[in-house]
Amino acid sequence: MIVTLPDEELLDALVAHHPPLGVELRVWDWSRPVREALGEEADEVVGVVLPYLRAASQWRSLADLPRLRLIQAQSAGYDNLLPIVPDGVALANARGVHDASTAELALGLIIAAQRELPRWARARSWETVQTRALADSRVLIVGAGEIGEAIRRRLEPFEVDLTRVATRARDDQHGHIHGIDELEQLLPSADIVVLIVPLTERTRGLIGAEQLALLPDGALLVNMARGPVVDTRAITAEVVSGRLRMASDVFDPEPLPEDHPLWQADGALISPHIGGNTTAMAPRILALLADQLPRLADGRPLLHVVNERADPAAPRAGAARPAP
């Protein structure tokens, strides 16, 4: 059984730091068809690991892997990956790998926006002015998954008034979580709104002109989810006018065009989708693969599967065809 990795660096790290995984490892960087890269060994490929932060241009050649059972992403988000998965193949995301880094960036963006740190970085004069505090701010976290929880933990010591929203209302050891149907009732009392939801048909356009209009003047919208969760035109109008502020790691479209008004808006703090891309990623993705690949080899349940599919342990008859 063969599992392909997208680069030599990842292969070398797995070999150096982890015991035998029960599979053979090969490099396929997705820049050319898999059979061109591996030849007859493509018949033995049971798993492929996607590249991180670069295009997988030859995804259609997944149809040439008759034994393929697993596509392993290195990202937590997977909405853009579902269409490339052949029937009967499991798609697993990198749940847990990016929690700490994404939560760190969320907190950093919030503090930088509240204390106007970009302003001081650009200034050449000594000014003493009062800025917003994070302490005593009313923070609304929309999304109660693992990254949302990581953000909650990091905000807790900052003495904020914290409210959480998830798909459905429930209680946990940290208190009450409101349902998404209550969102519009909660927005008028939020000083800071943090978005950390997956992109689905339900969350696409979750925050539009109507929702933004409910926020109080000066509120800060922090998008750590996906760009299309927020209506770009609507948030741009609010920020350029000076009524609202935003700090965002994701945009629609990406990359944000060079002439986009948000680049020049005083109330906009922009990072180029770098939430999970830190030095903390490597040890965490290695640990995930070291756990996942033996499961694939042994036929045990796989971790973090995010799609519905046929039994991945069953032999596949013929080559699968990727979704259009």
Instruction: Choose among 76, 114, 106: nearest CA to 222.
Output: 106
254 in catalytic set:
yes
Q: Which of 18, 243, 273, 309 is catalytic?
A: 273
CATH class of 2-96+279-298: alpha beta
| Choice among 98, 226, 284, 304 that is catalytic | 226
Whether the per-residue pLDDT at 319 is higher than 90: the answer is no
pLDDT at residue 124, as a whole number = 80
Structure confidence at residue 320 (pLDDT): 35
- Side-chain half-sphere of 259: how many Cα atoms within 13 Å? 0
Q: Chain-wide mean pLDDT for the chain?
A: 93
For 239-294, write each residue's pLDDT tens digit.
999 999 999 999 999 999 999 999 999 999 999 999 999 999 999 999 999 999 99
Distances (CA, A) of 235 to 23, 155, 228: 48, 24, 11
Kindly report, as residue ranges, where domains of CATH 3.40.50.720 are found in the chain. Answer: 2-96+279-298, 103-270
Does 67 qualify as catalytic in the annotation?
Answer: no
Q: What is the mean pLDDT of residues 312-323?
A: 39
Torsion of CA 311, 25, 86, 304, to 10 degrees: 60
Top CATH class of 103-270 equals alpha beta
Residue 233 CA to residue 29 CA, distance in Å, equals 36
CA distance linking residue 79 with residue 93, whole number of Å: 10
Residue 190 has pLDDT above 80, yes or no: yes
pTM of the model: 0.90
Q: What is the pLDDT of residue 169?
A: 98
Pairwise CA distance, residues 198 & 318, whole Å: 33
Q: pLDDT of 164-180, one tens digit each? A: 999 999 999 999 999 99
Which residues are registered as beta bridge partners of 194?
141, 222
Per-residue pLDDT at 222 exceeds 70: yes
In the annotation, is 226 catalytic? yes
Q: Judge whether 172 and 121 are in contact, CB under 8 Å.
A: no
User: What is each CA distance from 240 to 29, 166, 221, 294, in whole angstroms?
Assistant: 42, 30, 14, 52
Residue 315 has pLDDT above 80, yes or no: no
Query: Residue 162 forms beta bridges with which residues?
Result: 139
User: So what's the pLDDT on residue 317?
Assistant: 36
* pLDDT tens per residue across span 91-142: 999 999 999 999 999 999 999 999 999 988 888 888 888 999 999 999 999 9
